[in-house]
């Protein structure tokens, strides 16, 4: 089975809840679309945990991107303040409690993360990315970003035209900005799955989707089949 989630934001309790719900087997694979860190307390612990999971692939999110820039270029004040202004304090403090070897190992791991992946499940083609797929770079970028920045920072809308015959799964933009609820947003060839795990005090939760049958998992609300999730979105 193939599972996808995004934007944990240091919420270890929610991540552990999802893991218990999906019950990963050795033949399964979990894809995490970035933003493991910042906001919540346990971003560094989660990165260390995910790095050791044999059947898990982490993609680069804008928060990991900021962390890398700030720590690899400490002389750059823009990188420093951009990361700080995006609620990095827990991550920053915990990172510098590690040994120098542990710090370097973690940064080297982040530098290996893919920005976009494609996979086919039951003959359906999926693009996995944190914020926006590479294929849209020329059409909606407006020259604000370099390519990698675009893929981790750009905000998609329900009106953006996704690549033909592919389904884009992304995080980054909380789903309540797309359809006013804390559940996965299903648009035309797009799935937005950041349900606000970084904002638990505002009703956000961590979500996960199984690609074989579109079963949806929520750290607060439980498990919904494809049909039950469709009914949920109508309420």
Q: Look up the CATH number of the domain holding residue 180.
A: 3.60.21.10
CA atoms of 89 and 85, how far apart (whole Å): 9
Does residue 94 sit in helix, strand or coil? helix
pLDDT confidence of 210, banded at 50, 70, 90? very high
Rg (CA), the chain: 17
The structural domain count of the chain equals 1
What are residue 29's DSSP bridge partners? 2
- Per the structure, the complete domain to which residue 61 belongs is given by 2-234
Distance from the first to the final alpha carbon of the chain:
29
| Complete DSSP assignment for 169-212 | EE-SS-THHHHSSSS-EEETTEEE---BTT-GGGT-B-EEEETT
pLDDT confidence of 138, banded at 50, 70, 90? confident
| pLDDT per position as a tens digit, 6-28 | 999 999 999 999 999 999 999 99
| pLDDT per position as a tens digit, 86-137 | 999 999 999 999 999 999 999 999 999 999 999 999 999 999 999 999 999 9
**Residue 171 pLDDT exceeds 90:** yes
CA atoms of 94 and 97, how far apart (whole Å): 5
Query: Which tokens in the block code for residue 68?
Result: 């890398």
CA atoms of 155 and 3, how far apart (whole Å): 23
Rounded to the nearest 5 degrees, what angle is found at the Cα of 225, between the Cα atoms of 220 and 226? 115
């Amino acid at each position: 089975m193939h599972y996808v989630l995004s934007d944990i934001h240091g919420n270890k309790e929610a991540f552990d809840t999802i893991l218990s719900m999906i019950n990963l087997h050795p033949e399964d694979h979990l894809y995490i679309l970035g933003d493991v860190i910042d906001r919540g307390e346990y971003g560094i612990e989660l990165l260390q945990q995910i790095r050791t999971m044999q059947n898990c692939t982490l993609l680069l999110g804008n928060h990991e991107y900021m962390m890398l820039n700030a720590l690899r270029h400490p002389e750059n004040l823009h990188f420093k303040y951009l990361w700080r202004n995006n609620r990095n304090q827990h991550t920053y403090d915990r990172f510098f409690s590690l040994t120098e070897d542990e710090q370097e190992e973690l940064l080297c791991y982040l530098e290996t993360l893919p920005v976009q992946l494609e996979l086919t499940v039951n003959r359906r083609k999926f693009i996995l990315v944190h914020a926006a797929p590479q294929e849209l770079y020329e059409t909606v970028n407006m020259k604000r970003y370099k390519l990698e920045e675009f893929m981790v920072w750009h905000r998609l809308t329900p009106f953006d035209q996704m690549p033909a015959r592919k389904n884009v799964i992304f995080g980054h933009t909380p789903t309540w900005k797309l359809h006013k609820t804390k559940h996965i947003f299903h648009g035309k060839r797009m799935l937005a799955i950041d349900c606000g795990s970084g904002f638990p005090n505002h009703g956000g939760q961590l979500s996960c989707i199984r690609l074989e049958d579109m079963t949806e998992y929520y750290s607060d609300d439980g498990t919904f089949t494809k049909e039950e999730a469709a009914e949920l979105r109508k309420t």
